[in-house]
Amino acid sequence: MLERKIILVLADGLGDRPTKKLDRKTPLEVALTPNFDELAQNSALGLLYPIAPGVTPGSDTSHLSIFGYDPYVYYKGRGPFEALGVGIELAPNDVAFRGNFATLNESGIVVDRRAGRELPEAKELISALNEELKLDNAQVIFKHATEHRFALVLRGEMLSADVTDTDPHKVGERILKCEPKSGKREAMRTAQLVNEITQKAHEILDKHPLNIQRQKRGLPKANAILLRGAGSLANIPSFQALYRIKGFAVSGTAMIRGFCKAIGLEAPVIPGATGDFKTDVKAKAKAALDALEEHDFVYVHFKATDAAGHDKNAELKVKMVEKFDQLVGELMNGLKGEEVVCVTGDHSTPVDLGEHSADPVPLLISAPDVHADGGRFTEAACAFGSLGRLYGRDLIRVLLNQANRIAKFGE
């Protein structure tokens, strides 16, 4: 039996809803996507519910589901994925958080949850926090991820991930007080430490020379940290053990690299492959094509569509869809034509909403002998495709079947 290689190409936050900003069309419908259009003519189309209908996924939980792991079983918080992705080796008792630099005004109100998003001073601010922020009987480790994001790891005795976020998730509010989710001493102690870290970080950052300079230039000060997604390492079976296939991942986003490492995929940092609008799609495509020489499964992640959706910027999302189309074109030009290619998203981030939604995402599967539907790769066209509506948990098995790699059930 001819076993094919699989390449899964995913745009974060790809799906959308018709918007008045684009004459009641979606960014996928407006964007110029010659590579999608050509590929879709010879592909099977459908819609994918990353977790289930009516469930709004996070990128972390949707990735677990799409890779065949039940998020209700294996999700233990986003923090560990972020920490692994930036290169922190986690110990079993560590508690990891995902963090944002943010801007507080003089009244202590969050006026920007991302401190302007672009933050070239981030690494130096992280260094200041690592040097100056000390706790009794616990170690604090900060490491920059991308743009305004970072990972924080608490290391020591008597710690628990059973604590609440400090991120209010909207502007105009104060930073939330971290609270224990249980009456256990470990959770109570961890919450106290998180609140102490939050206060000390503000004191260090607010007076930092780089933030003073930013303020003088009219830029928002990165003078606070917002923490969420507390978690510890989960015992997740490896992708290779589950599916008997060796995998590789290409992503400029720390959390995604961390998730891929957690399931045993190789996920190195690729120069030029970033998690922002400037990501080098040629560098990503080359890394993926090179990896296909020695791997049977390659995953390629593209983040910028999600960021544009969160910014409620319809025109920018159209441009990022077009950039994603360029990435797919670079990949298709380098493939041999014998592979199974899947293009989809991990969730929808409608530009009018500015947040994730439970809407399904378009799905495309190309292979030499696939039943082709024709049409364009858009939400509306995919709704009439032969793949119908799949759940994320089914996708890997569908791809393995198309690649002639799935074992028979029964005699």
Give residue-wise pLDDT tens across range 312-359.
999 999 999 999 999 999 999 999 999 999 999 999 999 999 999 999
Contact by Cβ (8 Å): 64, 72: no
Q: Are strands 297-302 and 340-345 parallel, antiparallel or unpaired?
A: unpaired
Q: Provide φ and ψ at 211, rounded to 5°.
A: -75, -35
- Position with higher pLDDT, 233 vs 201: 201
Distances (CA, A) of 397 to 350, 360, 406: 28, 19, 7
User: Residue 235's pLDDT band (boundaries 50, 70, 90)?
Assistant: confident
Res 233 pLDDT > 90:
no
CA distance linking residue 116 with residue 109, whole number of Å: 15
CA distance linking residue 63 with residue 216, whole number of Å: 41
**Amino acid 145: pLDDT:** 85
The single-letter DSSP state of residue 154 is E
**Amino acid 274: pLDDT:** 85
Helical pair 209-216 and 122-132, crossing angle rounded to 10 deg: 150
- Position with higher pLDDT, 48 vs 147: 48
How confident is the model over 371-391, as a mean pLDDT? 95
DSSP string spanning 343-410?
A: EEESSB--TTT-S-BS--EEEEEE-TT-----S-SSHHHHTTSTTEEEEHHHHHHHHHHHTT----S-
**Amino acid 144: pLDDT:** 93
In terms of DSSP H, where are the helices of 263-298? 281-291
Name 8's bridge partners: 299, 342
Class of CATH domain 6-75+235-402: alpha beta
How confident is the model over 378-382, as a mean pLDDT? 97
**Amino acid 1: pLDDT:** 63
**Amino acid 76: pLDDT:** 85
Q: Indicate the domain borders of the chain.
A: 6-75+235-402, 82-231
CA 188 to chain CA centroid, nearest Å: 30
Q: Are strands 361-366 and 340-345 parallel, antiparallel or unpaired?
A: antiparallel
- Cα-Cα-Cα-Cα torsion 262, 268, 271, 272, nearest 10 degrees, comes to -40
Q: What's the token pair of residue 313?
A: 């910027």
**Amino acid 310: pLDDT:** 93
Residues 6+ apart with CB under 8 A from 67: 239, 263, 396
Residues 6+ apart with CB under 8 A from 174: 108, 109, 110, 168
Task: Give the other-Cβ count within 10 Å of 359's Cβ.
Answer: 19
CA distance linking residue 335 with residue 366, whole number of Å: 12
Percent of the chain's residues with pLDDT above 70: 100
**What tens digit of pLDDT does each residue of 164-211 get?**
999 999 899 999 999 999 999 999 999 999 999 999 999 999 999 999
**What tens digit of pLDDT does each residue of 76-93 get?**
888 999 999 999 989 888
141's enclosing H/E stretch is strand 139-144
3-class SS of residue 10: strand
